[in-house]
Homo-oligomer: A and B are copies of this chain.
Amino acid sequence: MTSELPIALDAMGGDNAPREIVRGALLGAARLGVRVALVGRRAEVEAELAAVEPSFVPADARSRVSVVDAPEVIAMDEHPANAVRAKKGASVVVACAMVGSGTARAVVSAGNSGAVLAAALFHVKRLRGVARPAIGTALPRSDGGSTFVLDVGANADCKAEWLAQFGVMGSVYASSMMGMASPRVGLLSNGEEPGKGSALVQAASPLLAAAPINFVGNVEGKDLFRDACDVAVTDGFTGNIALKTAEGVGEFLLGAISAEARKSLQGMVGGALLKPKLRPIRDRVDYRATGGALLLGVDGEVVIAHGRSDAEAIVSALRVAATAADRSVHSVIGSQIAATPAAPIEETVTP
């Protein structure tokens, strides 16, 4: 998996930037064989690179990591779109511009997701025919598979036509990235029955049924973790709530189990014996292993890594970015959208 073009990696984005991002870039270059352009304040990034012990990765991996200067930084509390407009030299802006100008084959950022979205809309640009790009991410399923959910946060208020496009984009993702022949697309609702759902869901359902996808109807929140569908479509508000709720329950349960295991000798022994067995489960629900979220509907591959990403999480995100670039997921989405009867609504996005 080598390519002349690097993946642009926002070195300043995320809670653990730049240290863990820099180390993630090196590990990614070593394990995946990819080229990585670390985009950030040159002096800081180079200092972090210099601080990494020589034995951390082989010299040839180190040679695949370059630095691109981006003097400005967008803070987590800034208004995303305003900051992206004002700071042309911000790392996420420079990184997205590299994809836009064809000097990077994908971009990865663990920064403010609103800023990544805004920078991508400005510089990677929306695909022709796409009303609204959406953020999609995979949730683990009890059968060992996963459910790709979109939108999980780009669009808090959606129109029915956008949800239908999310179905098409999600279906392409599942085909291209998960190798599925005919991914089952479900519509997240408060009940499986066709009559159930908000006004939005009831309006989107017939549009999804008419789209060139394998639409299986309404699915419920609990179905996300079962073998009920491969792609679950929802608006960005509901998708975000579902994702954060799942994260909250996971932390609550695993935390409570650890706490109980520490309370008694019997619990400690049991916990110690069970712990290595729980590792694969923890990995499956751990954002560090999943590679974050993909922005679908823009003219390039944009991966939004978790804000708490460490070096391992960055490697996972680079893997998703490299795979998406190798399979050119964005252009497959572009042709699918072009082949789909025009959505009744087509607007200009002004983030």
A225-258 CB contacts (< 8 Å) to partner B: 225-226, 234-238, 240-257
- Comparing A260-268, A316-324, A339-347, the segment that makes contact with chain B is A260-268
Tell me if A350 is interfacial: C-beta within 8 Å of chain B: no
For A247, A253, A263, which residue has the most chain B Cβ atoms within 10 angstroms?
A253
- Chain A contact-residue range equals 35 or more
A175-199 CB contacts (< 8 Å) to partner B: 188-191, 193, 195-199
Interface contact B221-A248, CB-CB below 8 Å: yes
Proximity string of chain A (137-150) to chain B, C-beta cutoff 8 Å, 1 when within and 0 when not: 00011100000000
Tell me if A33 is interfacial: C-beta within 8 Å of chain B: no
- The interface residues of chain B lying within 8 Å CB-to-CB of A189 are 237
> From A79, which residue of chain B is reached at the shortest CB distance?
B195
- A150–B193 Cα distance when bound, in Å, is 22
Tell me if A273 is interfacial: C-beta within 8 Å of chain B: yes
- Comparing A6-14, A165-173, A278-286, the segment that makes contact with chain B is A278-286
> From A153, which residue of chain B is reached at the shortest CB distance?
B190
Tell me if A270 is interfacial: C-beta within 8 Å of chain B: yes
- The interface residues of chain B lying within 8 Å CB-to-CB of A45 are none
Interface contact B221-A247, CB-CB below 8 Å: yes
- The interface residues of chain B lying within 8 Å CB-to-CB of A238 are 237-238, 241
Q: Which 6 A-B pairs have the closest CB atoms?
A: A270-B273, A221-B244, A222-B248, A270-B274, A221-B245, A190-B240
